[in-house]
Amino acid sequence: MPWRSTLLVTVVVLVGSGFAGRNQPDRVDLDVLGRALLVLAAAPLLLRHRHPVPVVLGVSAVTLVYLAAGYPYGPVFVPVAVACFAAVVHGHRRAAWWAVGLLWAGHLLLAHWLYRYLPPPGDGAAPWGQEIPAAAFAAAVLAASELARVRREQWAVARAERAAAERRRADEERLRIARELHDVLAHSLSVINVQAGVGLALLDSDPGQARTALTAIKTASKEALGEVRQVLDTLRAPGDAPRAPAPGLDRLPELVDQAAAAGLAVRTDLRGRRRRLPPGTELAAFRIVQEALTNVVRHSGSRTATVVVDYGSDALGLRIDDEGPATGGDAGGSGNGLAGMRERAAALGGTIEAGTRPDGGFGVRAHLPLRPEEPT
């Protein structure tokens, strides 16, 4: 509960009203009842955040009783202003307006019609000119409360937008890490699976070839562990720069060698003038080719594949084809691999097309936009 501010308001009202009464000899002297009414007007402010409507109406009613008893004007209106402010800020605008409006209307009745029946004795009608400052005070209290309400709503909207942006960034980071882990593990484990099968089949009949398969498994697992460690390092310290550069198309020969170790012959065709691409584009292109070759190893009966990299002036084109036929399900893969390729391309404003070709093989087409080269 806001007891500190309520105590401060109570002290200000009591002390200020005592000083104000010295300059208003025509009003009733502030006695025990008057001070009790001042305390009773300020005390409900303790609950202004939990119950703003009863508080603003109750404070206004007690203030009107104080004025009807003929006690001096002064800081008695401070609790009304604080209660009105709390009601408006908490969204109870109509209650605050009604409370202030009824208090002002009650003051008009007391000061201009009911004064002859109320203390102090012999009191006359108040001049109408004093109603202008009273109305201005009421309008100022309501205007300040509305301004505070608007600012508070703007701050709430801004906080919600910042929180939503943080959640989006966190979701995007989780998706990025999930794609990286999927691409690294799916490719490496596919190579390891094939080589393990070869090693087991040739362990007794051809130990030399089995050793070669085990060497390929060791190499693939070591590379996979290195890439997984790099991804996890960025997860642990997202603000730090990566310790190793992200893979790009300069590592295309490594993919060809890994595919060859899995029994897949890959022919590469580089078209256009090769140049260094933005890191995001390099990584996306590498992962798309990697995932497409992984799908060939896992889902195609073909032992050959073709990778075409076309460096255009405003786009990078990728084409990965195999001769098929599909084995063990959809040749393109129906899991997260194809979805990950599409997400990578879409993040760069590009597109992915994948499907069965008329000759029975499977093809992947990627189009990744590039900024035009600046003239040198």
**What integer pLDDT is reported at residue 170 of this predicted model?**
84
The CB density around residue 257, as the number of other CB atoms within 10 Å, is 13
Structural Rg of the chain based on CA atoms: 40
**What integer pLDDT is reported at residue 329 of this predicted model?**
47
Q: Where along the chain do its domains lie?
A: 3-126, 245-376
pTM score, whole prediction: 0.51
47: DSSP letter: G
Residue 304 CB burial class (10 angstroms; 0-12, 13-18, ≥19): middle
User: Among 369, 215, 174, 194, which residue's Cα sits nearest to residue 293?
Assistant: 194
**What integer pLDDT is reported at residue 242 of this predicted model?**
52
300: DSSP letter: B
Mark out the alpha helices in the chain (DSSP H runs): 3-22, 32-42, 52-68, 78-89, 93-112, 131-202, 207-236, 252-261, 279-299, 336-347
Which token pair is 367? Answer: 């189009």
Please identify every stretch of the chain with a pLDDT value under 50, giving residue numbers as ranges. 241, 329-334, 374-376
pLDDT, one tens digit per residue, over 343-362 is 889 989 999 999 888 888 89
Does domain 245-376 fall under CATH 3.30.70.1290? My reply is no
**What integer pLDDT is reported at residue 44 of this predicted model?**
96
Pairing mode, if any, of strands 304-311 and 265-272?
A: parallel
Distance (Å, whole) CA 308 – CA 40: 85
The CB density around residue 277, as the number of other CB atoms within 10 Å, is 18
The distance of Cα 233 from the centroid of its chain, to the nearest Å, equals 23
